[in-house]
């Protein structure tokens, strides 16, 4: 059974994000060792797990009183296993209810096409593009803006 809870400390998100660091990072000068997970009422972390194992952590950042931004971090060992999608859907249901969000948005760099496809499978829809806004390996890439409301989760 999938469980989702809101986290009260930053240790687990930091651990999972650092596992994914080489894939996630852009050309910013922040190192893996310098990374800290922000945690307060407007910056929340959630965890999904199954059989006492963490599958993913989800960072939610409040943009305004109805809209939050999400960053999903599924551990690499679960990529391609079929677990990421049901965990994301369960987590989104929980997050919508717990946060009071009416809309959740995501910004995904075009360097991560499988993440974009995954977000669309969850139910996010493409809403726009921010050109030349993500720097990786000294190349500027676009970021794709997506959004979802609670009723859109497939």
Alpha-carbon distance 83 to 101, whole Å?
A: 24
Per domain, the residue ranges of the chain are 2-152
SS3 assignment, position 105:
strand
Burial class (CB in 10 A: 0-12, 13-18, 19+), 55: buried
Instruction: Say yes or no to pLDDT of 14 above 90.
Output: yes
Average pLDDT for 126-139 = 97
Q: What is the pLDDT of residues 72-113, one digit of tens each?
A: 999 999 998 999 999 999 999 999 999 999 999 999 999 999
Mean predicted lDDT score pLDDT of the chain? 94
CB 71 within 8 A of CB 56: no
Alpha-carbon distance 44 to 85, whole Å?
A: 21
CATH of domain 2-152: 3.40.630.30
Record the tokens describing residue 32, joined without a space. 């893996």
Instruction: Say yes or no to pLDDT of 25 above 90.
Output: no
Comparing CA positions, the residue from 80, 76, 66 lying closest to residue 150 is 66
- Write the DSSP assignment of 63-76 as a string of letters: -SSSEEEEEEEE-G
Instruction: Say yes or no to pLDDT of 152 above 80.
Output: no
pTM: 0.92
Instruction: Say yes or no to pLDDT of 153 above 70.
Output: no
- Please state whether beta strands 103-109 and 67-74 pair in parallel, antiparallel, or not at all (unpaired): parallel
């Amino acid at each position: 059974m999938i469980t989702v809870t809101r986290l009260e400390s930053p240790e687990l998100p930091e651990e999972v994000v650092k596992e994914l660091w080489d894939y996630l990072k852009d050309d910013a000068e922040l190192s893996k060792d310098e990374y800290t997970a922000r945690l307060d009422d407007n910056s929340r972390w959630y965890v999904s797990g199954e059989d006492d194992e963490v599958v993913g952590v989800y960072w939610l950042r409040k943009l305004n009183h109805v809209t939050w931004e999400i960053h999903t971090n599924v551990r690499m060992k679960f990529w391609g296993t079929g677990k990421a999608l049901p965990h994301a859907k369960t987590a989104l249901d929980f997050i919508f209810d717990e946060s009071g969000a009416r809309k959740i948005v995501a910004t995904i760099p075009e360097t991560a096409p499988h993440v974009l496809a995954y977000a669309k499978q969850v139910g996010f829809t493409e809403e726009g593009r921010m050109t030349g806004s993500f720097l990786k390996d000294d190349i500027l890439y676009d970021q794709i803006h997506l959004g979802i409301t609670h009723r859109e989760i497939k």
